[in-house]
Amino acid sequence: MSDVIYDVVVLGGGAGGVPAAIRAAQLGGRVAIIEAGEFGGLCMNRGCIPFCHMAEVSRIHGSLALGKEMGLDVSGVSLNYATFRKRQDELIRFMREGVIGMLNKRKVRIIQGKGKLVGRGKVEVKGDIISYRNLILATGAKWLKPDIPGMDLEDVVTTDYLLETESLPKRVLLFGTSPWLLEIAQFLHHFGSKVILATDGKSILSAENKTIRTRLAKAMKNQGIGISSRAQILDLSKKKDGLHVLLKVKEKEDTVVVDRLVMLKRGAALDGLGLSTVGLGGQGEYLKINDRMQTAVDNIYAIGDITRPEERHYSHAASAGGMIAAENAMGLQERCFDPRTVARIVFTQPQVACVGLTEKEAKKAGHEVMVGAAPLSMNPSGMILSQTMGLVELVSEKKYGEILGVHMVGDGVAEMIGQGILAMQMELTLEELARATFPHPTLSESLPEAARQAMGLPIYLP
Amino acid sequence: MSDVIYDVVVLGGGAGGVPAAIRAAQLGGRVAIIEAGEFGGLCMNRGCIPFCHMAEVSRIHGSLALGKEMGLDVSGVSLNYATFRKRQDELIRFMREGVIGMLNKRKVRIIQGKGKLVGRGKVEVKGDIISYRNLILATGAKWLKPDIPGMDLEDVVTTDYLLETESLPKRVLLFGTSPWLLEIAQFLHHFGSKVILATDGKSILSAENKTIRTRLAKAMKNQGIGISSRAQILDLSKKKDGLHVLLKVKEKEDTVVVDRLVMLKRGAALDGLGLSTVGLGGQGEYLKINDRMQTAVDNIYAIGDITRPEERHYSHAASAGGMIAAENAMGLQERCFDPRTVARIVFTQPQVACVGLTEKEAKKAGHEVMVGAAPLSMNPSGMILSQTMGLVELVSEKKYGEILGVHMVGDGVAEMIGQGILAMQMELTLEELARATFPHPTLSESLPEAARQAMGLPIYLP
């Protein structure tokens, strides 16, 4: 096989690598994809998909309260984790087989094994050398464990534990800044765990608009989930009654006793890749790329989790980056990645979905900023759905009214943010959005109303 | 009061009239609004809002099946109509008070009573004469009863009956072409009624793409709802065991015995308006307007249900038209209504949401048509949600790839169609939509995938 030179070799078969390989093959390339673990990567096997599945059962369970108000009486509600796990495992297996099927259909060569760079143009997998004209690095993330006394105790786990256990822990502390932890907190809460969520950030979702994150935090607290921000873990010790976690929260120390501490922190999976053999060693915690997804080496691209700090690790960014990398590798006219239109989504109840600049970021970027907001509690569909915490907020610049950011909290906003994404992509103005005829009664109507509110001309708001 | 001349008088305080009055007041106009019945009109009091509320309890009840697959066990499920009605009545009252509050806040004079045109520039209400510079007619719809033997029997009702009754009928025949009947059929089915839906159309939602309407019909039939198309009611008679309805379905006659026959057909509420006093008499079943919402008389505008045939009676079209009429009446630079971007929505399970041209309409309009489709059963979020019937379909023209129509069936598509509406409004091409980075995992991802499929370049589809 040593005489084959692939147009594109993709290292990593996850959310970024798979569309990269397919896109390159679509463009006529001879393509190979190398995966050490399971196709579908972190997102499909141990991230977005299982967590979204968890969020969905949480949502249905949570909607029983609204149902009751509407006359739907149920008695004897119980949640069976074994049934849930079975469906989840089958779902993921089905999706994984789908991915492999698609790769085969596009005639992408599938190579199972750990790939290692061995000089320019060459990757070694289980002793075989694979030659490439272009390489797309998409090895994703690894879990990081901070250096805290007791961190190696058995009861300190990652989220992987929740996907493998037969029964869920009764008392859980979740620690980290990942939005996934918010989804997991609600899931565990619905399944009967006592949940505390602690973050070292100044709040949950600390980078988002205050209006948005405080509404989610309030909703979660109302649901009975403990939230501690500016928290640090000082010490861990296993005792008879459980895992003792010494937490420092805003200068105050306190011991929390739980059955499991779930840590979630991702780092770029760069170890053992052989980056130095191509001159990409010593770049730090993640790989640096330009907006064409190119590393410092012309024919080596990188996408997804290995390229960006933790807070921007969205699998749709990996997919979009993957397709762009493939197009550039295949010599299509120059394709660039637009990070402005990558939405930040949390599948909580209420959901959070934001795209573009926050108010603070817009001001920092030098814009004279106009903000418009429409609470979903004043939207007809929002009233039907008792969306007391919901809000749609627009950040725009004053001169042309161009929309710079769209921020939403509310049930179902993950499907509404596409409107914000298109607004950003098409450089929509407040005036244009205000003129959009959105259907009635929907939550989406709050988008044009927020635009009108920003201009001081709301129709349905005080 | 005879010396006041209003800049704008709005006749009718429904989904069209209220935003028209508020917009005119916002633009500095002296405005009065005249309403004979209840503010909020058909939509709020006897249409969209109660039917959407019904759809929501149907959705929650229906989602228990998915919940069960996910490990959510419930026993003793029952639906209490009295509780549902109480919430609904309170909700509508609250919204109605909100509308009146907004009109007061904008200093719109509220006149309660039946308005009648009495020559140019004048409307009479309870003997008072109200003078106007511009008039916006927004009196909405009335129910129509076809001329069939037995149509006056007590058991033949309109949908209003369902909003007033204390207990729901056990056996119901719904007859008509209105999308509302589809929502009501599912609602009654969830509340335990045996439901047959009959339409004189060639199918339910006969104007929509076949792919879309057949999926909804199949889903409803699977749920246990009888559907008859090309149906006619020949005769009605009351007997001991119920109302006997002689139906002719595709040349075959059959008698159906039910407790209630619900008829739903709307006509423009033109009666007794005094249209002939301003030269607008004899226009037929509804008022003709131009795209500025102007009637044949320059300073008289008309919006909403009184202006259009039944199938396009969407309250968001009335609202949009109302704002445009107000702007034109107040002398803003010429504002036009764009019917292309008015979405057609049905709050069924699965929902239907379509905007723009169907494939047939696009071909008829002379376009060389490209169609792209992405089934939600192959979308990751769709798999999580068991969206077996879901589909996103795009109709575009070949030359520039401009998107001409967006068609969806699936749970939650009513909140997704805003993406289609913006695509139409901004004249988005397939290429541009294909490049949109939509969040993962969401149903919305099927939009760019359908765009890629139309171009023959799908990433995640076979």
Residues B7-52 have pLDDT tens digits of: 999 999 999 999 999 999 999 999 999 999 999 999 999 999 999 9
**Residues B315, B326: Cα–Cα separation, whole Å:** 16
What is the least distance, in Å, from the CA of B312 to any CA of chain A? 12
Q: Could A316 and B439 be called an inter-chain contact, meaning their C-beta atoms sit closer than 8 Å?
A: yes
Averaged pLDDT for residues A120-145: 96
Does pLDDT of B357 surpass 70? yes
pLDDT at A282: 86
Banded pLDDT at A74 (limits 50, 70, 90)? very high
Q: Could A353 and B422 be called an inter-chain contact, meaning their C-beta atoms sit closer than 8 Å?
A: no
**In terms of DSSP bridges, do strands A300-302 and A128-137 run parallel, antiparallel, or are they unpaired?**
parallel
Q: Could A439 and B70 be called an inter-chain contact, meaning their C-beta atoms sit closer than 8 Å?
A: no
Q: Chain B partners of A428 at a C-beta cutoff of 8 Å? A: 422, 426
Q: For an interface test with A, which of B440, B446, B449 has the most A Cβ atoms less than 10 Å from its Cβ?
A: B440
pLDDT at B284: 87
Residue A301 sits in the same domain as residue A358: no
* A127 found inside a domain: yes
- Whether residue B440 lies in the annotated active site: yes
What is the least distance, in Å, from the CA of A156 to any CA of chain B? 27
**Residues A110, B175: Cα–Cα separation, whole Å:** 57
Does pLDDT of A3 surpass 80? no
pLDDT at A40: 97
Residue A13 sits in the same domain as residue A125: yes
Q: What is the DSSP string of B273-330?
A: S-GGGGT-TT--SS----TTSB-SSTTEEE-GGGGS-GGG--HHHHHHHHHHHHHHHT
Banded pLDDT at A311 (limits 50, 70, 90)? low
Residue B166 sits in the same domain as residue B252: yes
* A97 found inside a domain: yes
Averaged pLDDT for residues A182-191: 98
* B148 found inside a domain: no
From A130-134, A372-376, B141-145, B316-320, the region with the lowest mean pLDDT: B141-145
Decide which of A315, A340, A365 is a domain's last residue: A340
Bond preceding residue A441 cis, omega within 30 of 0: yes
Q: Could A72 and B77 be called an inter-chain contact, meaning their C-beta atoms sit closer than 8 Å?
A: yes
Residue B31 sits in the same domain as residue B124: yes
* A462 found inside a domain: no
Residue A10 sits in the same domain as residue A123: yes
* B166 found inside a domain: yes
Q: Which domain holds residue A61?
A: 5-143+268-340
pLDDT tens track for B416-452: 999 999 999 999 999 999 999 999 999 999 999 999 9
pLDDT at B309: 58
Residue B134 sits in the same domain as residue B11: yes
Buried b (16+ CB within 10 A) or exposed e, B20-35: bbbbbbbbebbbbbbb
Does pLDDT of A227 surpass 60? yes
Averaged pLDDT for residues B388-393: 97
Domain count for chain B, please give it: 3
Residue A232 sits in the same domain as residue A286: no
Q: What residues of A are labeled active site?
A: 440
Q: Could A437 and B317 be called an inter-chain contact, meaning their C-beta atoms sit closer than 8 Å?
A: yes
Decide which of B264, B294, B316 is a domain's last residue: B264
CA distances from B420 to B80, B356, B405, B415, B424 (A): 37, 9, 8, 10, 6
Tell me the CATH number at B252.
3.50.50.60
pLDDT at B313: 73
pLDDT at B2: 56
Nearest CA in chain A to B27: A457
pLDDT tens track for B303-328: 999 998 555 679 999 999 999 999 99
Q: Could B48 and A441 be called an inter-chain contact, meaning their C-beta atoms sit closer than 8 Å?
A: yes
What is the value of pTM for the model shown? 0.96
Residue A260 sits in the same domain as residue A272: no
Long-range (24+ apart) CB contacts under 8 A made by A96-99 are A96/A38, A96/A39, A96/A40, A96/A44, A96/A45, A98/B378, A99/A13, A99/A18, A99/A39, A99/A40, A99/A44
Residue A136 sits in the same domain as residue A160: no
Residue A237 neighbours by CB under 8 Å, 6+ apart: A150, A153, A243, A244
Q: Chain B partners of A342 at a C-beta cutoff of 8 Å? A: 437
CB A111 within 8 A of CB A125: yes
Of A80, A94, A457, the CB nearest to B26: A457
**Residues B424, B440: Cα–Cα separation, whole Å:** 23
pLDDT at A360: 97
Per-chain mean pLDDT for chain A: 96
Decide which of A264, A288, A322 is a domain's last residue: A264
Q: Could A439 and B57 be called an inter-chain contact, meaning their C-beta atoms sit closer than 8 Å?
A: no
pLDDT tens track for A257-297: 999 999 988 899 999 999 999 999 988 889 999 999 999 99
Averaged pLDDT for residues A125-150: 94
Residue B448 sits in the same domain as residue B371: yes
What is the least distance, in Å, from the CA of B87 to any CA of chain A? 6
Whether the CA torsion B335, B339, B343, B346 is positive or negative: it is positive
The residue ranking higher by pLDDT, B144 or A25, is A25
CA distances from B254 to A325, B228, B232, B263 (A): 64, 11, 10, 18
Express as a percent the part of chain B with pLDDT over 70: 99
Residue A65 sits in the same domain as residue A208: no
* A383 found inside a domain: yes
- The helix (run of H) or strand (run of E) holding residue A124 is strand A122-125
* A461 found inside a domain: no
Q: Quick one: three-class SS letters along B145-175?
A: CCCCCCCCCCCEECCHHHHHCCCCCCEEEEE
CA distances from A310 to A49, A178, A334, B336, B435 (A): 18, 8, 27, 47, 24
Does pLDDT of A312 surpass 70? no
Nearest CA in chain A to B379: A95
CB A180 within 8 A of CB A51: yes
- The helix (run of H) or strand (run of E) holding residue B116 is strand B115-117
Express as a percent the part of chain B with pLDDT over 90: 94
Does pLDDT of A1 surpass 60? no
From A111-120, A220-229, A335-344, B20-29, the region with the lowest mean pLDDT: A335-344
Residue B105 sits in the same domain as residue B48: yes
pLDDT tens track for B231-285: 999 999 999 999 999 999 989 999 999 999 999 888 999 999 999 999 999 888 8
* A137 found inside a domain: yes
Does pLDDT of A410 surpass 70? yes
What is the least distance, in Å, from the CA of A260 to any CA of chain B? 23
